Amino acid sequence: MIEQTKSKLYRMKLNGMVEGLECQLRTPHYLSLSFEERLGMLVDHEETYRENRRLRALLRSAKLKVHAQVENIRFEPTRNLDRETVTNLAACDWIDTGFNLLITGATGTGKTFLACALGYQSCLKGKPVQFHKLGLLLDELEQAKADGSLRKRLAQVNRAALLILDDMGIKARLSPTECELLLELLDGRHGVGATIITSQLPLTSWHEYLSASYPTTADAILDRMITNAVKIELRGESLRQHKTPVLNRAQQQLTLAKITEASKPC
């Protein structure tokens, strides 16, 4: 009977309930519980199983550069990072309203870590995220424009509730085509999807950087970046010299594999 029940649960894609049932069968103390209690635990196990599966899928799709969490953000006074602001951002309400977050600061001050921590938080809330190095994404969009798949590629990017564009300004200069593509990307998300942009350039230098290649689009790009934006300027010495442990991509996959295991009741 148990094997038949498990087969039926599998066919109905209730894999979490199968795991919970097997756990109950292995653990004698469950036998002392009532039918209602054991059934409730099976339903809870299925819910947890589905939530973890969705989280793993969102994190795989996000491709965050580092596995960062809000709990690990450092709030030393020299960093110019307000705890209340980060707490409000971690609630992710701003993502639903299409706000932007602009994070600037010198190399090593934790811009990417902060962006990825908020990206991870967004995944926890069930909101799709995509992480891209801005320069590489613009290269992809330029190739897509050349082969006629630009509309499709932009649609793929804009499926993300939160788009993280890392390291704006790392290229010495954007080409006119790259400026046009950046404008088209931001215009498609303006007021619809939220975007995080990180840059070593201070905010006051962004117009000069963008107008150096294509002056006619600089104002339009900045308007879509800065309107409805929260601005964070990180300061202080490089955090890398403290050798703060950061999980690489392989370690992140290992962490994802452990999420479900850690949630099991036994």
Instruction: Give me the torsion for CA of 175, 181, 185, 191, rounded to 10°.
Output: 80
Question: How is residue 163 written in tokens?
Answer: 């788009």
**pLDDT given at position 213:** 77
**pLDDT given at position 244:** 46
102 vs 195: CA distance, rounded Å: 8
**pLDDT given at position 227:** 85
For 1-36, the three-class secondary structure string (H helix, E strand, C coil) is CHHHHHHHHHHCCCHHHHHHHHHHHHCHHHHHCCHH
The arrangement of strands across the sheet holding 100-104 comes to 129-133, 162-168, 194-199, 100-104, 229-233
**pLDDT given at position 248:** 53
Cα separation values, 188 from 80, 86, 154, 191, 213, Å: 32, 26, 8, 9, 22
Domains identified in the chain and CATH numbers: 2-60+255-263 (no CATH), 67-240 (3.40.50.300)
Please report, in angstroms and rounded to a whole number, the separation of the first and last CA atoms in the chain: 23
Q: Tokens 């085509």 sit at which residue? A: 177
**Residues in CB range of 76: below 8 A, 6 or more apart:** 236
Please report how many Cα atoms fall inside a 13 Å half-sphere around the Cα of residue 52, on the Cβ side. 18
- Given a contact cutoff of 8 angstroms between Cβ atoms, the answer to whether 156 and 109 are in contact is no
What pTM value is reported for the model? 0.80
**pLDDT given at position 172:** 82
Strands 129-133 and 100-104, sheet pairing: unpaired
Counting as low any pLDDT under 50, the low residues of the chain are 243-246, 260, 262-263
